[in-house]
C-alpha cells in the first residue's frame, strides 16, 4: 500500500516537472551562471526555490479536474411515439412528408378509410383535388389550411379537413404535415333532419288537419243535432287522425335512421327464420286482400351482418306493399338465396299491374307516389320505401327494382 502511494506521488512529481519544464530550464541556466560567478550559496538557494514552486504549483496541474458540462435536453420523437399518441385519438389523422408521401396514419384513419402501406403517395389515398391542393399549398407556404369535404361511400359523411405543419423533434431532420379529419356529419344530419321534418310535416299534415278542422266546424254548426252526421264525420276524423299518427311515426323513424346511417351494424342475423316471422305476421293482412304469400329458403343458414329489427321492418314494408299493390295477382313470392361465398339476396315478387318505367327511379323518394289516390286509399304515407332505402344504406346493401306493366314487380335486396 505504501509502495503504491510512493509510486503515485513519484508519478505525479514527474508529471508536474514535465509540465513546468520551461521554468526549471530557465532556473538551471541562471543557477549555472551564478556558480560560474562563484556565488554558490545563492545559486543553491535559487535552484531549490524554483523546484519547490514548480512541483507544488496547483494552478499548473497538467490534469485539472473536469468541470461538469450541462448538456441541453433534446426530446427526440420517433414515429413509434407519434403513432401511439395519434392512435389514442378518435379523429382520423394522416402524417404527410414534404414529398407528399403518407408516413403514418392512426387507427381512426384506418377504420374510416382503410389501411394503406407506409410511404404511399397521398394522391393514391386521397382522391379529392381540393384536399390535395390544400396540402400542396401548405407545404409551399408553411401555413395551416382547412376545407369542408364530403364522402359519398360507403355512406354520406362530411368532414372539416385541416392540414398544418409540425416540427417533430429531430425526426428525419425535416418538417412534417398533419392532416386531420373532423367529422361533422352528425351536426349536418341533425340540421337537415330538422328542416326536412318541418317541411314534410307541414306539407303532408296540411290536408288531414284541414279535414279535421272542417268536420269539427260542421259538427259544431249545421250538424250539431244530426246523429247520423256525427257518426259519419267522427269516423272520417278518426281515419285522418290515424293517418297523421302514422305519418309522424314514419317521419321520426326516418330521422332516426338518417342519424345513424353511417354506422354499420355488426349483429349476425340469419335471414331464413326472420323472413318466416315476417310472413307469419303479415298472413292476416294477406288473407284480407286475398293474397297468398309463399316463402322459399335454402337448407343452409344465410347469415348477414345487420340489425334484426331494422331488417324486419325492411321486409315487412316490401311484402306488405306487394300484398296491397299487387293483390290483383293473388300471390306474392318471397325467395332467399346466397350464403357462403355468394352474396345474400332476398326477392319479393308480385303479379300485380306493375310500375311504369318512368316512376321506378323515384319510388324511394320521400312522399313520392305512383298513384296518389291508390296510396291514400291503402293507408300509405309515401315513406315506406324511403325508410327501406335508408336501412339498406346503413347495412351496405342495395335495393334493385324490376317491373313490367301487366306482369308485376320484383324488389330485390342484395347484401
CATH of the domain at 131: 3.30.450.20
CATH code where residue 399 lies: 3.30.565.10
276 and 403 both lie in a single domain: yes
**Whether residues 289 and 390 fall in one domain:** yes
pLDDT per residue as tens digits for the range 67-83: 444 433 334 445 677 77
With cut-offs at 50, 70 and 90, classify the pLDDT of residue 226: confident
Domain match, 8 and 93 both: no
Residues 102 and 138 in one domain: yes
Backbone angle region of 410, left / alpha / beta, with phi > 0 → left and psi within -120 to 50 → alpha: beta
Mean pLDDT across the chain, nearest whole number? 77
Q: Are residues 238 and 377 in the same domain?
A: no
Q: Which residue has the cell 243535432?
A: 225
| Contacts of 162 by beta carbon, 8 Å cutoff, 6+ apart | 144, 145, 146, 179, 180, 182
Lowest-pLDDT range of 26-35, 222-231, 324-333: 26-35
Residues 301 and 348 reside in one and the same domain: yes
300 assigned to some structural domain: yes
Total Cβ atoms within 10 A of residue 189: 20
Q: Are residues 274 and 390 in the same domain?
A: yes
Give CA–CA dist 37/92, Å, rounded: 96
Buried b (16+ CB within 10 A) or exposed e, 119-131: eeebeebbeeeeb
Cα–Cα dist 234/227, whole Å: 10
Instruction: For residue range 245-267, list pLDDT tens digits in order.
Output: 877 777 777 777 776 766 778 78
CA angle 321, 323, 324 (to 5 degrees): 65
| 272 and 374 together in one domain | yes
Share of the chain above pLDDT 90, in %: 16
Residue 65 in domain: no
Q: Which of 168, 183, 198 is the last residue of a domain?
A: 183
Question: Does 28 fall in a domain?
Answer: yes
More confident residue, 317 or 374: 317
For the segment 18-31, what is each residue's pLDDT rounded down to a tens digit? 544 545 554 554 45
Same domain, 384 and 318: yes
- Note whether 236 and 226 are within 8 A (CB): no
**The whole model's pTM is what?**
0.50
Question: Does 307 map to a domain?
Answer: yes
Domain count, the chain: 4
- Domain extent at residue 392: 267-414
103-159 confidence digits (pLDDT tens): 888 888 888 777 777 788 888 878 888 999 999 999 999 899 999 888 776 667 888
Highest mean pLDDT among 166-180, 256-270, 339-353: 339-353
Q: Which residues share a beta bridge with 402?
A: 410
* pLDDT value, residue 219: 85
Amino acid 36: pLDDT: 53
Whether the per-residue pLDDT at 243 is higher than 60: the answer is yes
- Cell 350464403 belongs to 339
Would 237 be classed as within a structural domain? yes
Amino acid at each position: 500500500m505504501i509502495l503504491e502511494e510512493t509510486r503515485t506521488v513519484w508519478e505525479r512529481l514527474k508529471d508536474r516537472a514535465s509540465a513546468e519544464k520551461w521554468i526549471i530550464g530557465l532556473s538551471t541556466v541562471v543557477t549555472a551562471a551564478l556558480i560560474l560567478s562563484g556565488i554558490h550559496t545563492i545559486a543553491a538557494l535559487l535552484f531549490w526555490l524554483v523546484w519547490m514552486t514548480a512541483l507544488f504549483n496547483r494552478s499548473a496541474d497538467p490534469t485539472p479536474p473536469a468541470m461538469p458540462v450541462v448538456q441541453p435536453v433534446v426530446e427526440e420523437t420517433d414515429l413509434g411515439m407519434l403513432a401511439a399518441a395519434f392512435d389514442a385519438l378518435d379523429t382520423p389523422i394522416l402524417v404527410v412528408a414534404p414529398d407528399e408521401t403518407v408516413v403514418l396514419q392512426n387507427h381512426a384513419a384506418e377504420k374510416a378509410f382503410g389501411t394503406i402501406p407506409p410511404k404511399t403517395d397521398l394522391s393514391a389515398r386521397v382522391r379529392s383535388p381540393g384536399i390535395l391542393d390544400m396540402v400542396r399549398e401548405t407545404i409551399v407556404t408553411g401555413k395551416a389550411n382547412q376545407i369542408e369535404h364530403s364522402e359519398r361511400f360507403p355512406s354520406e359523411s362530411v368532414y372539416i379537413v385541416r392540414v398544418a405543419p409540425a416540427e417533430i423533434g429531430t425526426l428525419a431532420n425535416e418538417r412534417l404535415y398533419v392532416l386531420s379529419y373532423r367529422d361533422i356529419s352528425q351536426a349536418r344530419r341533425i340540421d337537415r333532419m330538422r328542416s326536412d321534418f318541418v317541411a314534410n310535416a307541414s306539407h303532408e299534415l296540411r290536408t288531414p288537419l284541414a279535414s279535421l278542422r272542417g268536420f269539427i266546424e260542421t259538427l259544431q254548426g249545421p250538424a250539431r243535432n244530426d246523429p247520423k252526421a256525427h257518426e259519419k264525420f267522427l269516423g272520417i276524423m278518426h281515419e285522418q287522425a290515424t293517418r297523421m299518427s302514422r305519418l309522424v311515426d314514419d317521419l321520426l323513424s326516418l330521422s332516426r335512421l338518417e342519424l345513424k346511417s353511417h354506422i354499420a351494424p355488426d349483429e349476425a342475423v340469419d335471414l331464413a327464420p326472420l323472413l318466416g316471422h315476417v310472413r307469419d305476421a303479415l298472413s292476416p293482412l294477406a288473407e284480407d286482400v286475398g293474397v297468398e304469400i309463399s316463402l322459399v329458403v335454402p337448407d343452409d343458414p344465410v347469415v348477414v351482418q345487420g340489425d334484426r329489427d331494422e331488417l324486419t321492418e325492411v321486409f315487412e314494408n316490401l311484402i306488405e306493399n306487394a300484398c296491397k299493390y299487387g293483390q290483383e295477382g293473388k300471390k306474392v313470392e318471397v325467395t332467399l338465396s346466397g350464403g357462403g361465398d355468394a352474396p345474400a339476396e332476398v326477392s319479393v315478387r308480385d303479379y300485380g299491374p306493375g310500375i311504369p318505367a318512368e316512376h321506378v327511379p323515384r319510388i324511394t323518394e320521400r312522399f313520392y307516389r305512383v298513384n296518389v289516390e291508390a296510396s291514400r286509399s291503402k293507408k300509405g304515407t309515401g315513406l315506406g320505401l324511403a325508410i327501406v332505402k335508408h336501412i339498406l344504406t346503413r347495412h351496405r346493401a342495395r335495393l334493385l327494382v324490376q317491373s313490367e306493366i301487366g306482369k308485376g314487380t320484383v324488389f330485390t335486396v342484395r347484401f
